[in-house]
Structure 1
Amino acid sequence: MESSTATDLNDELDPSSTLLDLTSYQLHDLDSVELPPNLTELDLTANRLSTLDPRIGQLSDLKKLSLRQNLITDSGVEPLSSWNALSYLEELVLRDNQLKNIPDVSIFKKLLVFDVSFNEIASLHGLSRVCNTLKELYVSKNEVTKIEEIQHFHQLLILELGSNKLRVMENLENLVNLQELWLGRNRIKLVNLCGLKCIKKISLQSNRLTSMIGFEVC
């Protein structure tokens, strides 16, 4: 049934299209799927993938790659770190997989959006290798206990760290362009917005705040 679905999909593909949306095909692999070499966007959301097809690493025009809601582990995502042809990727979504660590994405020198929410990540260790071009970082619904390795993200506009195990607001002072900060459902007691001159939205609901002191501009 799965192979016939993939065959039908290939029959429907427009070879001149630069967008391939394979959302919710329940694919375990991409063996039966053609990947046009001129793709700029590849959406593999809601499948059953546990590894990455090496052909993805040859899509040199790719700007957006979504692997949301699959079964990808740390070892499964590891090939990304050596796919030089994808160095101009701008958006990488690994949301809702089985990652325990921040993957090595240092090869992506133009990365703007990085999403690893809804995984099993316990530490932000590894973010220091992420390019400072980043504008949106999503790490919600993990097991993170400390805000760290984000000081170089001077261009960051959105930081999502809700539903983790954070206790302290720290290492945020260099995020001078940050506009949205989402820290709801953590264990934070004190507010610290020092350095966040451009902040427009902040979420701290369902924490352990002991006072409202700290919301004033530092």
Structure 2
Amino acid sequence: MEDKNQASSDENLDQTVEIDLSSTVLDLTSFQLHDLNSVELPASLTELDLTANRLSSLDPRISHLSNLKKLSLRQNLFDDAGVEPICNWVALSGLEELVLRDNKLMKIPEVGIFKGLLIFDVSFNEITSLNGLSKISNTLRELYVSKNEVSKIEEIDHFHDLQILELGSNRLRVMENLQNLSNLQELWLGRNRIKVVNLCGLKCIKKISLQSNRLTSMKGFEDCVALEELYLSHNGIAKMEGLSTLVNLHVLDISSNKLTSIDDVQNLTRLEDLWLNDNQIESLESIAEAVAGSTETLATIYLENNPCAKSSNYSAALKQIFPKIQQIDSYLFA
């Protein structure tokens, strides 16, 4: 009975992976393949997605796919030795996106052969150092190394065109070596051990996350005048400051800190989302003056789990202050 079921399963698999040999996109996500022996790989492929399989070694036929632009090996069983052959695959030198997320890598793979690489993702591995990034093309636009064991920001100086840098959930203690990333738009550093904000002079960033770090001060963002979203929840911040110049801010999250009052946001005339829940804000009396600049724009405010949220007229007072409010805490208004 078991053999019959296995034969049926194999038959279904063969039918499922049968493809047009002129195809340019092949998506084999969640096929649970241990190898690609039963799969045709058309020479015309520009995208190959092997997400969520059981692969531990690279099929050498991939090395001949000279038209390939996107290769995803996400959520497989690749270790360093398993991906090593890719460093010699000259025919793939035009690759633009390489995803090795959620595997068993211990180091940054050598991928310098890809001279036009735009997106590189090695998140959710066991990488302890960024050593090796210096060999990657300076064309890179997006770099993802979250959920690893990295302790130092390094070897990124040449990424002048980088727009997104994701280093969340690592072991970083210091923000450093960012000064050359003049085109950086998004910086994600949540769940690290950072105590002090240091943006190394960058001014064009639009999104910053430093959630779940060890910050006690908000100082350091004053020059980021293009900033649109700032996430600082789960730190030890006791005072709102350094915000008055951030006139383009749309989202501000300072929930789960040690705030006792709302300050320095009078100039934020574009603020739409304000997260202040799980702090120690005592009173609603001064809130109207504190947020004077955003009374007409604010759509969402979170203040639950503050002493002021226990007031009997809590929601009514907020509705009066913010005529266009759409959400107070988890309650959405029709």
**Same fold flag (TM > 0.5):** yes
The alpha-carbon deviation at position 5 of structure 1 amounts to 4.0
The alpha-carbon deviation at position 210 of structure 1 amounts to 2.3
Do structure 1's residue 81 and structure 2's residue 87 form an aligned pair? yes
CA distance in 2, matches of 1:5, 1:142: 37
Percent identity (aligned):
76
Q: What is the SS of the residue equivalent to 1:79?
A: helix
Q: Which residue is equivalent to 1:68? A: 74
1:32-88, Cα deviation, whole Å (9 max, x unpaired): 111001100000000000000000010000000000000000000000100000000
Task: Give matches, 1:179-218, under 5 Å.
Answer: 179-217=185-223
Q: Which residue is equivalent to 1:175? A: 181
- Which stretches of structure 1, 4 residues or longer, exceed 4 Å deviation after superposition? none
The alpha-carbon deviation at position 137 of structure 1 amounts to 0.1
Q: What is the SS of the residue equivalent to 2:143?
A: strand
Contact 1:194 1:217 in 2 (8 A): no
- 2:16 is matched with which residue: 4, 9, 20? 9
CA distance in 1, matches of 2:201, 2:180: 7
The alpha-carbon deviation at position 6 of structure 1 amounts to 3.6
CA distance in 1, matches of 2:220, 2:12: 55
> 2:62 is aligned with what amino acid?
I
Greater relative contact order (Cα 8 A, min sep 6): structure 1 or 2? 1
Q: Which residue is equivalent to 1:46? A: 52
CA distance in 1, matches of 2:201, 2:96: 27
CA distance in 2, matches of 1:98, 1:3: 28
- 2:145 is matched with which residue: 116, 129, 139? 139
> 2:15 is aligned with what amino acid?
D
Q: TM-score, normalised by structure 2?
A: 0.64
1:127-158, Cα deviation, whole Å (9 max, x unpaired): 00000000000000000000000010000000
CA distance in 1, matches of 2:185, 2:33: 37
Q: Which residue is equivalent to 2:106? A: 100
> 1:185 is aligned with what amino acid?
R
Q: What is the SS of the residue equivalent to 1:109?
A: coil
CA distance in 2, matches of 1:3, 1:21: 18
1:161-207, Cα deviation, whole Å (9 max, x unpaired): 00000000000000000000000000000001123221000000100
CA distance in 1, matches of 2:124, 2:98: 14
Name the stretch that deviates more: 61-70 or 186-195. 186-195
CA distance in 1, matches of 2:170, 2:11: 41
Do structure 1's residue 119 and structure 2's residue 116 form an aligned pair? no
The alpha-carbon deviation at position 15 of structure 1 amounts to 1.8
Name which one, 1 or 2, has greater alpha-carbon Rg: 2
Q: CA RMSD in A?
A: 1.1
The alpha-carbon deviation at position 8 of structure 1 amounts to 1.0
CA distance in 2, matches of 1:3, 1:72: 24
Do structure 1's residue 20 and structure 2's residue 20 form an aligned pair? no
Q: Unmatched 5+ residue regions in structure 2?
A: 1-5, 225-334
CA distance in 1, matches of 2:185, 2:222: 15
Contact 2:17 2:28 in 1 (8 A): no
The alpha-carbon deviation at position 212 of structure 1 amounts to 1.2
Do structure 1's residue 29 and structure 2's residue 35 form an aligned pair? yes
> 1:51 is aligned with what amino acid?
S
Change (3 A) 1:58 1:6: farther
Contact 2:108 2:133 in 1 (8 A): yes
Q: Unmatched 5+ residue regions in structure 1?
A: none
> 2:144 is aligned with what amino acid?
Y
Q: Which residue is equivalent to 2:332? A: none
